[in-house]
Amino acid sequence: MPNRYVVAKVGEIAPGSSKLVKVAGRDIGVFNLNDSYYALLSKCPHKGAELCKGKIVRRVTSDEPGSYTVIPNSEMIRCPWHGWQYDLRTGQSWCDQDNVALRKYAVSVETGEGLLKGPYVAESYRVVVDESYVVVEI
């Protein structure tokens, strides 16, 4: 049974922004995307940077050089150090494939998306809204 921690009041974190909290000995970023909440451990699996102090960015794909498509509802957190990007909703990284020593997950190419999933995953937590509070389950 996970422990539940209140991290914010509803309305405190504006849509599109985040709050950094310390909970159960962990630094966690809590994000509001269109009034759905997501939480990630604020530690980049690459070199340990405070991941959640980075910018929220969106995925960009391309049909060919010179064309740029911004994908809606694709928010990622971009690590403030070396720029690695992680899907805010799942923690999945989008930056590497074949690092043999650190590979944990099967790698796949998704048709039409044009990006490779990486083996790194930023640890994520379930967030629920309980009455007027935002609650993280760890």
Partner 1 sequence: MHVAVPGVKTLVPYLDEYWQERVRIQQLERLDLSLTSYPPTAPLSGRPDWRPQQGPPGSDLALLQEKALERFGVRYAILNCLWGSQVLFAEDMAAAFCRAVNDWIAAEWLDRDSRLRASIMVPTQNPELAAAEIERRAGDPRFVQVLVLAGLDLPLGRRLNWPIFKAATAHRLPVAVHAGSAYRHPPSSSGWPSFLLEDYVSNTQLFAAQLASLVSEGVFAKFPELKVVLVESGFTWLPAFAWKFNKTWRGVRTEVPWVTKPPFDIIRDHVRLTIQPTDAPNDPAIINALIEQIGSDDMLLFASDFPHWQFDGDDVLPDGLDDALLQKILVENPLATYPRLGELVA
Partner 2 sequence: MSLSMLAAEKAKPNTRLSVVDCDIHPVLRSDLEILPYLPERWRDHLKTYRRHLRQGLHGTLTHMRMQVNRLDAVTPDGGPPGSDVDFMRSHHLDQNGVEWGLLQSLQPAAHAERNLEYGAALATANNEWQIAQWIDKEPRLRGSIQVTQENPEAAVREIKRRAGDKRFVQVSMSPRAQEPLGRPRYWPIYEACEEHGLPIGLHVPGFGSGYASTPAGWPSFYLEEHQTFAYIIMGVFTSMVLEGVFERYKGLKLVLVEGGFAWVPALCWRLDKAWTRMRSEVPHLKRPPSEYIREHIWFTTQPIEEPENPEDLNRVIEWIGWDRLLFSTDYPHWDFDDPKTVFNIRMTPEHRKMIFSDNAKRVYGLP
Residue with structure tokens 């794909």?
A: 61
Distance CA 42, CA 36 (A): 19
| Per-residue contact flags (x/-) with partner 2 for residues 55 to 84, judged by CB under 8 A | x------------------------xxxx-
Distance CA 108, CA 56 (A): 24
| Closer of 87 and 134 to partner 1 (Cβ) | 87
Distance CA 85, CA 95 (A): 7
Is position 3 an interface residue for partner 2 (rule: CB under 8 A)? Answer: yes
Among partner 2, partner 1, none, partner that 21 touches (CB below 5 to 8 angstroms by kind): partner 2
Interface region with partner 2, contact rule CB under 8 A, candidates 5-13, 33-41, 87-95, 107-115: 5-13
> What is the contact surface with partner 1 in residues (CB under 8 A)?
57, 60-69, 79, 82-85, 94-98, 114-116
Distance CA 53, CA 78 (A): 9
Distance CA 49, CA 111 (A): 32
Of 33, 53, 61, 116, which one interacts with partner 2 (CB under 8 A)?
53
Is position 100 an interface residue for partner 2 (rule: CB under 8 A)? Answer: yes
Burial 57-71 (b: 16+ CB within 10 A, else e): eebeeeeeeeeeeee
Least spacing, CB of residue 28 vs partner 1, in Å: 23
Of 67, 72, 101, 106, which one interacts with partner 2 (CB under 8 A)?
101
| Closer of 94 and 133 to partner 1 (Cβ) | 94
Distance CA 51, CA 74 (A): 17
